[in-house]
């Protein structure tokens, strides 16, 4: 698969994250892109990324959603599970560069209007106070002025 664009690795990782248990909708994929990258890629780049990845057989359409193909899951299983998103993107981009698919697969055409609607819906969902499961959990704040104290041991009895 040559050349490899940054949006391809981002899109494939976002689909893999959002489609853990069932095929992901476009809004869920956009939310995962926002979580990974901190922003959403351009609609034109995302549409071209869908087209390229589907032609190489790395993503498939399942019902109304999208899921990574077994070849893509195999490609992503080599890395560390606890790696940061940046490390996973670099490893995935390197794996995409070495990926050679000789057969043509059916192309998934995602229009810019569909992507625009999904981005708009994601922006609206960010404004509401609802629970977003794709947001990382905040760390507990530990007061550094007050040290943690252990419970004292009970006194020994003399017999």
Count of CB atoms within 10 A of residue 75's CB? 21
Most confident of 38-52, 90-104, 115-129: 38-52
Is residue 77 pLDDT above 70, yes or no? Answer: yes
pLDDT band at 135 (very low <50, low <70, confident <90, very high): low
Q: How big is the CA angle at 60 (ends 124 and 80), to the nearest 5 degrees?
A: 80
**Mean pLDDT taken over the chain:** 80
Q: How far is CA 66 from CA 27, 47, 113, in A?
A: 11, 13, 17
Q: Is residue 134 part of a domain?
A: no
Q: Return the pLDDT at 57.
A: 85
Q: Is residue 153 part of a domain?
A: no
User: Number of structural domains, the chain?
Assistant: 1
pLDDT band at 36 (very low <50, low <70, confident <90, very high): confident
Q: Return the pLDDT at 95.
A: 84
- Chain centroid offset of residue 158 CA: 62
Q: What is the domain extent for residue 21?
A: 6-127
Q: Return the pLDDT at 148.
A: 65
Q: Is residue 132 part of a domain?
A: no
Q: Return the pLDDT at 145.
A: 65
Q: Is residue 1 part of a domain?
A: no
Q: How far is CA 21 from CA 3, 68, 137, in A?
A: 31, 12, 20
pLDDT band at 103 (very low <50, low <70, confident <90, very high): confident
Q: Is residue 104 part of a domain?
A: yes
Q: Is residue 34 part of a domain?
A: yes
Q: Is residue 69 part of a domain?
A: yes
- Looking at per-residue pLDDT, the higher value among 17 and 138 belongs to 17
What is d(CA 11, CA 27) in angstroms, rounded to the nearest whole number? 13
Q: Is residue 72 part of a domain?
A: yes
């Amino acid at each position: 698969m040559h050349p490899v664009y940054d949006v391809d690795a981002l899109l494939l990782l976002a689909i893999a994250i959002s489609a853990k248990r069932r095929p992901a909708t476009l809004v869920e994929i956009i939310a995962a892109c926002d979580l990974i990258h901190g922003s959403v890629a351009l609609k034109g780049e995302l549409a071209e990324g869908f087209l390229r990845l589907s032609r190489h057989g790395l993503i498939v359409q399942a019902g109304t959603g999208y899921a990574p193909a077994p070849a893509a899951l195999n490609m992503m299983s080599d890395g560390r599970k606890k790696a940061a998103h940046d490390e996973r993107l670099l490893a995935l981009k390197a794996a995409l560069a070495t990926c050679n698919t000789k057969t043509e697969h059916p192309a998934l055409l995602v229009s810019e209007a569909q992507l625009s609607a999904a981005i708009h819906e994601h922006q609206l969902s960010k404004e509401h106070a609802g629970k977003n499961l794709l947001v990382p959990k905040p760390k507990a704040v530990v007061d550094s002025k007050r040290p943690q104290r252990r419970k004292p041991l009970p006194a020994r009895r003399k017999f």
